[in-house]
């Protein structure tokens, strides 16, 4: 099996890489932190990587070329993402653009770019957040990019199905990774990234399309996505 995982250098992406490796898959990881990717390559013989900044949307068109010789791509995991505990209008313009690019545009454009490598039976996994069902007051722009990803994933699911490709949306609750500190706040508690990775692998095996981790968060679906009051 061939898998591409974005945001492979830490947290959920790294846990997924290690889980895929254990399953005997060949994994290609994408992220900016070369040292972290090298370290993963030392732990997993079948891990290869491409150092790339996914906010540079123009460079996404080169990724397919870099995967030449891979053969069929069985799984693409759009996992890379980041947040900021900042009010939207207080953010630098560049950060607004970068967050929207990495969290929302890159998953669409990378899927589009790698589609020719995927065939009947391939799977696209989009890592969203269970936060799409509640108001992420402290992470407003992040919440908006994830609701947008949730929305477009529902639409892309049908498009991909026509090609025999399954789309799996993943909705984690609070996960103990570098995410929150990088976003500017110390947050305690949460599930492990390994638990999320195991749930994703299970969903791939069982043919599921939506995965909530922990599972009880699936009840949030009854609320629909959160939409700010107008
Ligand atoms: N932690 C949570 O509570 C939580 C909850 C729900 C959903 N999520 C989602 O889970 C996903 C993974 O987050 P995590 O919790 O594992 O956080 P993390 O440990 O901070 O990992 C984020 C990953 O995204 C990559 N990334 C960020 N910006 C990038 C860019 N410009 N170009 C390429 N790669 C970039 C990072 O790699 P480099 O820095 O090396 O580029 C890193 O590998 C995200 O989409 C996040 O929104 C997290």
pLDDT digit string, tens, across residues 167-219: 999 999 999 999 999 999 999 999 999 999 999 999 999 999 999 999 999 99
| Ligand 1: centre distance to CA 21 (Å) | 20
181 Cα–ligand 1 center, Å:
11
> How high is the mean pLDDT of the chain?
95
Instruction: Tell me which residue has its CA closest to atom 43 in ligand 1.
Output: 7
3-state secondary structure of 199: helix
Q: What is the pLDDT of residues 97-114, one digit of tens each?
A: 999 999 999 999 999 999
Closest CA to 160 of 204, 205, 125, 201: 125
Domains of the chain: 2-217 (3.40.50.720)
DSSP E strands in 17-141: the ranges are 26-31, 47-51, 75-78, 123-127
Would you state the pLDDT for residue 230? 47
Can you tell me which atom of ligand 1 is nearest the CA of 98?
Answer: 31
pLDDT at residue 131 is higher than 90:
yes
Distance 106 CA to ligand 1 centre (A): 13
**Beta bridge partners of residue 127, listed in sequence order:** 170
The pLDDT value recorded for residue 134 is: 87
Ligand 1 centroid from CA 81, angstroms: 4
Q: Is cis: bond before 112, omega within 30 of 0?
A: no
Q: How is residue 50 written in tokens?
A: 């491409």
Confidence class of residue 69 from pLDDT cuts 50, 70 and 90?
Answer: confident
Q: Which residues are part of the catalytic machinery?
A: 142
Substitution site in 81, 175, 185 for ligand 1 pocket (most atoms within 8 Å of beta carbon): 81
Ligand 1 pocket by Cβ (under 6 Å): 7-13, 31-33, 36, 53-55, 79-82, 102, 127, 129, 172, 174-175, 177-179, 182, 190, 193
Mutation test residue for ligand 1: of 4, 136, 177, the one with most atoms within 8 Å of CB:
177
Residue 226 clears pLDDT 80, i.e. is over it: no
Q: Tell me the pTM.
A: 0.97
Q: Quote the ligand 1 centre to 230 CA distance (angstroms).
A: 31
For residue 131, the ligand 1 atom closest to its alpha carbon is 6
- Produce one character per residue of 104-129: b if its CB has 16 or more CB atoms within 10 Å, e if not: bbbbbbbbebbbebbeeebbbbbbbb
- Measured between alpha carbons, how far is 113 from 69 in angstroms, rounded to an integer? 16
> CB pairs under 8 A, 24+ apart, for 201-205?
201/16, 201/19, 201/20, 201/23, 203/168, 203/170, 204/75, 204/123, 204/125, 204/168
Task: Please identify, by atom number, the ligand 1 atom nearest to the C-alpha of residue 14.
Answer: 43
pLDDT score of 223: 81
229 has a pLDDT exceeding 70: no
Task: Give percent of the chain with pLDDT exceeding 70.
Answer: 98
Sign of the four-CA dihedral 64, 45, 167, 13: negative
| Range scoring the smallest mean pLDDT among 62-71, 84-93, 152-161 | 62-71
Tokens of 131: 């936060």
């Amino acid at each position: 099996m061939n898998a591409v995982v974005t945001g492979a250098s830490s947290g959920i992406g790294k846990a997924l890489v290690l889980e895929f490796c254990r399953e005997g898959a060949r994994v290609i990881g994408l992220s900016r932190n070369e040292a972290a990717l090298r370290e993963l390559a030392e732990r997993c013989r079948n891990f290869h990587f491409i150092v790339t900044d996914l906010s540079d949307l123009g460079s996404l068109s080169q990724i397919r070329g870099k995967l030449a010789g891979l053969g069929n791509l069985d799984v693409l995991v759009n996992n890379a993402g980041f947040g900021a505990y900042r009010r939207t209008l207080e953010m630098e313009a560049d950060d607004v653009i970068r967050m929207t690019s990495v969290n929302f545009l890159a998953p669409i454009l990378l899927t589009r770019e790698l589609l020719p490598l995927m065939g009947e039976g391939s799977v696209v996994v989009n890592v969203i957040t269970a936060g799409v069902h509640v108001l992420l007051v402290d992470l407003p722009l992040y919440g908006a990019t994830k609701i947008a990803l949730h929305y477009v994933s529902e639409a892309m699911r049908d498009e991909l199905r026509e090609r025999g490709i399954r789309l799996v949306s993943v909705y984690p609750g609070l996960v103990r990774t570098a995410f929150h500190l990088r976003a500017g706040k110390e947050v305690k508690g949460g599930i492990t990234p390994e638990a999320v990775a195991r749930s994703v692998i299970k969903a791939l095996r069982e043919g599921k399309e939506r995965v909530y981790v922990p599972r009880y968060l699936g009840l949030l679906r009854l609320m629909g996505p959160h939409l700010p009051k107008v």
